[in-house]
Amino acid sequence: MDHRSETDGRRDRDSDGRARSARPRDGLGRPLPYGATGVARQPEGIVRTPEDTVMEAQALLDAGRPFHAHEVFEDAWKARPGEERGLWRGLAQLAVGLTHAARGNPTGGARLLRRGAGAVEEWAAESGRARPYGMDLGGLVRWARDLAAEVARDAAKVDAVARAPRLRGR
């Protein structure tokens, strides 16, 4: 991916010199042309409590912004202790799976939903915890597998708002 600015031809870099795209993004995280109005980007590297992570991710999912919810889960994955990383990584995969399904990528969406469901299910079995931080992991796994089957079968875009999971159940 080329991260060159249209205005000066230089690559967009963060303060550490890593390539970053300064292009605006839409609500599903897709890059828009330079100068277009996008949605605010989710800040990266924020350390939140697990409860705050769940609340913020749910608000983003409810708003139809699963890509941004994935970034919140990714922050938790990087910040939480090793024994919890599998949980947060799996949740990030579920959010990215919904993102791909909403973008109209049924293959990637189904694959990531299944992968995330497997990771969350495996973490719950290994940890013996079915409701960490109030989340309904069994319900999330069922939601992900059902949506993955639907996306793979119908090969149609899904509405990210209408199909957003309830992290703590209904």
Task: Give, for all 170 residues of the chain, the pLDDT tens digit.
Answer: 444 444 445 555 566 665 456 788 888 888 888 888 888 877 788 889 999 999 999 999 999 999 999 999 999 999 998 899 999 999 999 999 999 999 999 999 999 999 999 999 999 999 999 999 999 999 999 999 999 999 999 988 999 999 999 999 87
φ, ψ (nearest 5 deg) of residue 114: -65, -45
- Is 110 part of any domain? yes
Whether residues 89 and 125 share a domain: the answer is: yes
Tell me, what's the pLDDT at 20?
59
Whether residues 79 and 32 share a domain: the answer is: no
- With contact defined as beta carbons under 8 Å apart, do 75 and 48 qualify? yes
Which residues have a Cβ under 8 Å from the Cβ of 80 and sit 6 or more positions away? Answer: 50, 87, 88
Whether residues 36 and 62 share a domain: the answer is: no
CATH of residue 93: 1.10.3450.10
Whole-angstrom Cα Rg for the chain? 17
Whether residues 67 and 33 share a domain: the answer is: no
Mapped onto helix, strand or coil, the DSSP state of residue 16 is coil
Tell me, what's the pLDDT at 132?
96
Tell me, what's the pLDDT at 2?
46
Rounded to two decimals, the pTM is 0.84
Whether residues 61 and 24 share a domain: the answer is: no
Whether residues 130 and 87 share a domain: the answer is: yes
Measure the CA–CA gap between 47 and 41, rounded to whole angstroms: 16
Whether residues 17 and 59 share a domain: the answer is: no
Whether residues 61 and 123 share a domain: the answer is: yes
The CA–CA distances, whole Å, from 141 to 86, 109, 124, 160 equal 14, 15, 10, 17
Which structural domain, as residue segments, surrounds residue 141? 50-154
Which residues does residue 4 pair with via DSSP β-bridges, in sequence order?
11
Tell me, what's the pLDDT at 3?
45
Tell me, what's the pLDDT at 44?
80
Whether residues 29 and 60 share a domain: the answer is: no
Tell me, what's the pLDDT at 40?
80
Whether residues 99 and 140 share a domain: the answer is: yes
Mapped onto helix, strand or coil, the DSSP state of residue 4 is strand
Q: Is the dihedral of CA 51, 57, 58, 59 positive or negative?
A: positive
Whether residues 54 and 132 share a domain: the answer is: yes
Whether residues 59 and 138 share a domain: the answer is: yes
Render 20-63 in DSSP notation, one character per residue. ---S-B-TTS-B--TTS--BPPPPSS----HHHHHHHHHHHHHT
